[in-house]
Structures are given as C-alpha cells and as structure tokens.
Amino acid sequence: MHTIKIYNKAKDTEMGHLQSGDKIIGTISKYFEGNYGLKKFFEHKSHTFAQNLEQVMISKRLFSLLVFVIGLVSFSSSSFAQNEEKSPAQPAEMAAPAHEEKKGINITELVFDHVSDSHEWHLFSLKNADGSHRPVAMPLPMIIYRPGTGLSVFSSSHFEEWHEGAEGTKISNEHEGVYIEKRMKEKVLAKDGSKVYDLSITKNVLSMLIGVVLLLWIMTSAAKKYKTGGMKAPKGMQNFIEIVVIFIRDEVAKPNLGTAKYKKFVPLLLTIFFFIWINNLLGLLPGGANFTGNIAVTACLALVSFIVMLVNANKHFWSHLLNPPNVPFLVKCLLVLIEVMSLFIKPVALMIRLFANMLAGHIVILSVVCLIFIFALLNVYVGGGFVVVSMAFSVFMFMLELLVAAIQAFIFTNLTAVFLGQAIEEAHHEEGHGAEAHH
C-alpha cells in the first residue's frame, strides 16, 4: 500500500511540474515581448525545453514503475523473513537441511547474471542428485595480454571451479597466471597483481557480432533482390525493409536535416536504427545478452553521433553557440555557459536513455518471473496460484518490450537526426530582415 501511495504521489508531482513549466514559459514570453532578439532566441529554445521536460517525465514514470516492483519484492521478502521468525525452533540436526531447502535461488544474483556481461554464455542449469545446480554454458575465447608474459589465448572453460570471496564476490580457479573475480561484473586479474589487458570475446561482444552478421545478411539480401528483380514489386523481407527505410527517410531524415542535405546522413541513420533494433530484439530471446543495456555500448553509439555532429557543424551553429546575437553581454555570458553544457549533455542523454530503458525492461521482466519463487517460499499453494498472474504479466511485459525495442531505436535515431539538423542548419535570412525592421 505504501508503494502505491509513492507511485500516485509521483504522478501528481509530474502533473504539477508540467503546469509549472507552462506558467514559466508564458511569463518569460511576456517579459521578452519588447526585445525581438531575445524573443526569437527564447522561442527557439522553448521547444527544446518542452522536449527535455517530456523526457524527464518519461524517466520519472519508468522510475515509479521500478519503485513499485522493487517495493513489492521487498514486501514479499520481509513477509518471508517474518514467517521464519515465527516458525518454532527445530533440532540442530534438522535445522541445516531445512534452511538449505528454504534458501531457494538467489534472485539478485540471477537478475544481475542476466543483465551483466560474462566470459561465458550461460544457457540454463541442471539439478544434480545432491540438490546442487550445475550450470550449462557455452565457453567463449579468452584473449589476455600481460606486459610481462605477452598474449595468451585459451577457452573460458578452464575456469570451472568457483569459491566465495570477500564481500560476496566469487573467485575462479587460476589458469595461466590469471583468474576471474565476479562481483557486479567479471574482471580478469593476475595472480601476481600485475596489469592485465582483457581483449576477450565476451557474451556482449559475441551478441554484437551476431547482430552485425544479421544486419549485413538482411541488407545485402534486400539489395540483391532489387538488382536481380528490377522494377518488380517487393515482397517478403524486402517489402518490410523498404517500408522501414522509407519511414526513416521521410519521417526522420527529411524533416530534421532538410531536403537538400538529408541524403548524406541517411546511411548513418539507417545503420544506427537497424543496429539498435536488431540487438534489442536479440536481447529479448531466452538466454539472450543484454547488449544495448550495457552503458559502454550506448556510450560508443552516442559518441559516434556526437563526433558526426561536431565534424559537420557549420559556422552558423558555432556562432550561435559561442556568440548568441542580439543578446545583452551579461545574458550572453550565461547563455554561452548553458549552451556549452547542453552541447555535452546531448550525447549523455542519448547514452543514458537507451541504456536505462533497455536495462529496466530486462530487470522488470526478470523480477516479475522471480515473484513466483518468492511467493513459493512463503507458501507452496500461494506460489502455485501466483504462477498464472506472474506469467500473464511477464508475457504482457515481453510484448511491451518488443514495442519498446523499436521505439528506443527510433528515438535514438530521431534525436541523432535532430542534433545533426541543429548543427548543419543555415542562417534564416528572414529573421535578420525582421530584426532590422524591428529596429
């Protein structure tokens, strides 16, 4: 009940922020009515402010949903703890087996093992005769470079034995002078403490390579059909690809980049869209990698967009960034500082938006599925009855994630086009004439 109150309060606060934003924009617009330059500048920036405010609101809704799920899990865990405290004491020889039976699975470890990167691709686990679980995983190539010993290439299957380390870490056995330390993520360390450069093909790297191969296969197949089929009407996968390409061209590239310059950037926008979309879908497969939910991946994608924007930025963009026209000197100093900060905030926003949305989607789905086991620990019948509810909600969230996978690819591509459009936009002569007439 407390979690539901938090969610409702967040929703009311969000509406208040939106109303306050409208009042602020209206008040400042009236204040700038007498100064044409400031008025035009503020009108140009108010639209960006509204977009950023809307993005913040979306993030808050996502955060509220996560608070609700985590609160439900916490409530279930605390209820289980209270039931354990109320249970009568058992003899010493029976206490240990009962505790092991109640322990069940480690929900936190299960969730973070799925969303984090790894040196092996875990598929599923088998239960041994003694009740322990044996993971079934696909080993991946380990490529390790150490300044003292050089390059080493071997399989990750050599790290088979694991033991508990300090502060909840897991430590693997040693092989060729190195071992793996697993906490929130895996890290390869040298036994003698020397520097280690890990160039291994991890689960995320392999998922990326699979996504690239799929992207090349889909695009080359569609292009081959156009070459061999001539002017025949497209069908099948070719028809689907054509619809998406035309959509990105007409609804993303042309409106944001202009009809004169859009052709130069369409290949980049199509590559970004299909690369993110394919990897988002691969991550939703059972046992799939959380590639686009890795902040290092989204940081590289955002860096590519940022570099392309800076390289293609024209004189008009830099002059408005570093020397806003028709603005008093003191206001100009403040605006330049804000504009420079916003320049670097753009790639950060791209990076965090894709990372947070995809990571949150995976965590929510796994958390809902794990609720089955949490309620089963409380009571077998409660757990069995909750299976239907949990699986139904999991299927709903999975279908929603299929939609989110395409939406996030579109948003990243569209914002890249918006930022590029701002960088290559030419000066509006009609604004200059209007300013002269005003003076």
Question: What secondary structure does DSSP assign to 231-290, as a single string?
Answer: TPPP-THHHHHHHHHHHHIIIIIHHHH-TTTHHHHHHHHHHHHHHHHHHHHHHTSTT---
Claim to verify: residue 160 and residue 276 sit in the same structural domain: no
DSSP string, 304-338: HHHHHHHHH--HHHHHHHHS-TT--HHHHHHHHHH
Claim to verify: residue 353 and residue 428 sit in the same structural domain: yes
Q: State yes or no: pLDDT of 379 exceeds 60.
A: yes
Identify whether 100 is part of a domain: no
The beta-strand segments (E) located in 307-419 are none
Q: Which residues contact 374 (CB under 8 A, 6 or more apart)?
A: 73, 76, 77, 80, 107
Claim to verify: residue 244 and residue 324 sit in the same structural domain: yes
Claim to verify: residue 284 and residue 399 sit in the same structural domain: yes
What whole-number distance in Å separates Cα of residue 426 and Cα of residue 257? 11
Identify whether 339 is part of a domain: yes
Claim to verify: residue 131 and residue 262 sit in the same structural domain: no
Tokens found for residue 300: 């590289």
* Mean predicted lDDT score pLDDT of the chain: 77
- Residue 148 has a pLDDT of 82
Claim to verify: residue 194 and residue 234 sit in the same structural domain: no
The beta-strand segments (E) located in 128-261 are 133-139, 141-146, 150-155, 162-164, 170-172, 178-182, 186-190, 197-198
Whether the Cβ atoms of residue 345 and residue 353 lie closer than 8 Å to each other: no
Supply the range of the domain harboring residue 80: 2-86
- Nearest Cα neighbor of 40 from 327, 346, 343 is 327
Identify whether 112 is part of a domain: no
Claim to verify: residue 237 and residue 259 sit in the same structural domain: yes
Which has more confidence, 80 or 175? 175
CA angle 124, 178, 209 (to 5 degrees): 50
Identify whether 51 is part of a domain: yes
Its pTM stands at 0.72
What whole-number distance in Å separates Cα of residue 144 and Cα of residue 269? 35
Claim to verify: residue 424 and residue 372 sit in the same structural domain: yes
Claim to verify: residue 339 and residue 249 sit in the same structural domain: yes
Q: Summarize the confidence of residues 149-171 as an average pLDDT.
A: 87
Q: Quick one: how far is CA 148 from the chain centroid?
A: 37
Q: Summarize the confidence of residues 326-354 as an average pLDDT.
A: 91
- Residue 393 has a pLDDT of 83
Q: Summarize the confidence of residues 251-260 as an average pLDDT.
A: 92
Identify whether 95 is part of a domain: no
Three-state SS at 145: strand
Where does a domain end: 182, 198, 214? Answer: 198
Claim to verify: residue 390 and residue 260 sit in the same structural domain: yes
- Residue 64 has a pLDDT of 53
Where does a domain end: 198, 226, 247? Answer: 198
Claim to verify: residue 63 and residue 134 sit in the same structural domain: no
Q: State yes or no: pLDDT of 114 exceeds 60.
A: yes
Identify whether 56 is part of a domain: yes
Identify whether 101 is part of a domain: no
Where does a domain end: 198, 217, 235? Answer: 198
**Residue 297 β-bridge partners:** none
Number of folded domains that form the chain: 3
- Residue 180 has a pLDDT of 92
Claim to verify: residue 138 and residue 68 sit in the same structural domain: no
- Residue 115 has a pLDDT of 84
